[in-house]
Structure 1
Amino acid sequence: MMEKRKNLYFYHAKSEELEEKLSALFETVKKSGFNIVDDFNKANIIISVGGDGEFLQAVRHTNFRQDCLYVGITQENEAGLYCDFQLDRYVDMIHAMKDDQIEVRRFPVIDVTINGESTFHCLNEATIRSAIIKTIVMDVYIDDNHFERFRGDGLIVATPTGSTGYNKSTTGSVIDPKIPCFQVTELASLNNNHYRTLGSSFVLNQDRTLRIEVIQDGNDYPIIGLDNEAYSIRNIKTVTIQLSDKRVKTVKLKNNSFWDRVKRTFL
């Protein structure tokens, strides 16, 4: 599987300290028969160095490529639910790649369309939050059927792999990434005798469409978070979210499943 994949592109923050650590890795990679390229479009393996945040940035900045594999490497004390390898043990990664001790997993992606015009991809989650000290009001539709009117700080729409991030910290469920679905979780919903929401997370199947309509009551400039990037888009009226046809293909060790990493991270 790895024999035809010899061109590596490294995505990482620029710092002298990190460059020094990577120099030995680069030298070993070249001696092992791999090529390091400067253009991610020429790579068939894209490697991020820096934990889950850097991995998400690597996927976004290389346009969610479907024809390559993504690999994550953590440095010391960095979260690594997307990352199977550690920088101080990079030899393990090279041996695994050469000896075919890895498997390819495919992570679901959601498509987020704003005002019916611009579509963005998310590997982790999309969030819609109030940008002012005021509850944001949104009508929630599932397959064009009105579900609820939400009042609160905002909503998180998470992929299965994204369910372990912001979603989990707001009491959302952890979802097995082999289930093609996405999850909607509330942020500080307002519930009383006048206003009512479901009050819990809910999970939508891959063929469902979620549409969120922002009520124009002065909160017309919500913050849209796409993975770990925030966007301020003027006059947001509708946000439509579906499970994408895209899948991000990542490299994992054969003895390191998603649930192994969840246990190691949280238990």
Structure 2
Amino acid sequence: MSDRKNVFLFYNNTDVTEDQINNLKDLGRSYGFRLVQNAEDANIIASIGGDGAFLQAIRKTHFRDDCLYVGLNNKHLGFYTDFDINDLEHIEAGLQSDTLEVLRYPTIEVTVDGVQSFQCLNECSIRSNIIKTFAIDVYIDDIYFETFRGDGMVVSTPTGSTAYNKSLRGAIVDPKLKSMQLTEIASLNNNEYRTLGSPLILSGERELVLKIVQDGNDYPIIGADNEALSIRHSHEVRIKLSEKVIKTIKMKDNLFIHKVKRSFL
């Protein structure tokens, strides 16, 4: 990180104290880092407050692929946060040694009705906004696959496989696999309606198309990571692996396997 010295801090004042922020700033200055007021001027964006804050930092700074993102937690280490703001010794040790490495996390690109596009680091979710069965025609590479009926669907990245996807009994996917996963939310499976009924992992070269059946339930809730989008009317949602990746810093001794074990076992 010797050539990256401009740092923007992304945090909520309710998540950290002024003393914690000042201590972090003092440590950064001692190693030549400069605090900037605008994210556009930064080549390092540091979020404070857990995985949710990390996701918001990326979204609010428009998924920049020309900078490094760093996650600092205030309580427990997460999947995107390798550092604890209360453990300055650990942060300083990382600055002094070669124990840091840069990971490149894949994102998915979502296009609604061929007009509005956005990216997700964890997942895109499509859910019914009324108490009524939600119907979606599923296409893979423009080949009809199935008609889904239920509460909705989630398309996740490998890193997002441990989030909403896992709560739906989706598979945990190694982030080194360029892929995306389609998982159902409370699907109907009976003599009349039938879906795959299990998570489906797709190659990063595939394109997934979800065509919302217009039966009066055509105002779905579309979620991008941990944020709901205000998209009123939707007919078609296209999802594919994006060419844009998010570069983040992690400790070499805190691998994906370590995080899964720490979080779930």
> Do both proteins adopt the same fold according to a TM-score greater than 0.5, normalized to the shorter chain?
yes
The aligned counterpart of 1:134 is 132
Deviations 1:76-109 (A, max 9, x none): 14x6111100111133223313433200011010
Quick check: 1:157–1:185 contact (8 Å CA) kept in 2?
yes
Q: Give the alignment's TM-score, normalised by structure 2.
A: 0.97
Partner of 2:21: 22
Amino acid at match of 1:130: S
Aligned to 1:47: 46
Aligned to 1:63: 62
The separation in 2 between residues aligned to 1:263 and 1:167, in whole angstroms, is: 17
Aligned residue runs from structure 1 range 101-140, under 5 A: 101-140=99-138
- Within 2, Cα distance between the matches of 1:24 and 1:59? 24
Q: CA deviation at 1:33?
A: 1.3
Report the more deviating stretch, 52-61 or 12-21: 12-21
Cα-to-partner distance string for 1:160-218 (whole Å, 9 max, x where unaligned): 00000000011000000000000000000001100000000001101100000001111
Q: CA deviation at 1:16?
A: 8.5
2:169 equivalent in structure 1 = 171
Query: What code does the residue aligned with 2:57 have?
Result: A
User: Cα 1:126–1:22, aligned 2, differ >3 Å: closer, same or farther?
Assistant: same
Question: Unmatched 5+ residue regions in structure 2?
Answer: none
The amino acid of 1:209's aligned partner reads: E
Structure-1-length-normalised TM-score: 0.96
* Matched residue type, 2:115: E
Q: Would the aligned equivalents of 1:221 and 1:232 in 2 still touch at CA under 8 Å?
A: no
Are the counterparts in 1 of residues 106 and 244 from structure 2 also a CA contact under 8 Å?
A: yes
Distance apart, 1:251 and its partner CA: 0.3
Q: Where does residue 248 of structure 1 map in the other structure?
A: 246
Count the aligned residue pairs.
265
Asked if the contact 2:15/2:74 (under 8 Å) is kept, the reply is no
Distance in 1 of aligned mates of 2:51 and 2:15: 21
Quote how far apart the aligned CAs of 1:14 are.
Answer: 2.1
Structure 1 residue 234: Cα displacement: 1.6
Indicate the residue corresponding to 1:198 in structure 2. 196
Residue 144 (structure 2) aligns with: 146
Cα distance change of structure 1 residues 116 and 227 upon mapping to structure 2, 3 Å threshold = same
Contact preservation (8 Å) 2:69, 2:246: yes
Q: Distance in 2 between matches of 1:16 and 1:244?
A: 32
Among 182, 185, 188, the alignment partner of 1:184 is 182
More divergent stretch after superposition (165-174 vs 253-262)? 253-262
What value does the CA root-mean-square deviation take over the aligned residues? 1.2
Match of 1:156 in 2: 154
Rounded Cα–Cα distance in structure 2 between residues aligned with 1:190 and 1:15: 42
Distance 1:42 1:100 in 2: 26
Percent identity over the alignment is: 51
Deviation at 1:17, TM superposition (A): 4.9
Q: CA distance change for structure 1 residues 56 and 239 in 2, over 3 Å: closer, same or farther?
A: same
Shift of 1:45: 0.9
Q: Which of 220, 223, 234 is matched with 1:222 structurally?
A: 220
The amino acid of 2:120's aligned partner reads C
SS of 1:162 mapped into structure 2: helix
Match of 1:266 in 2: 264
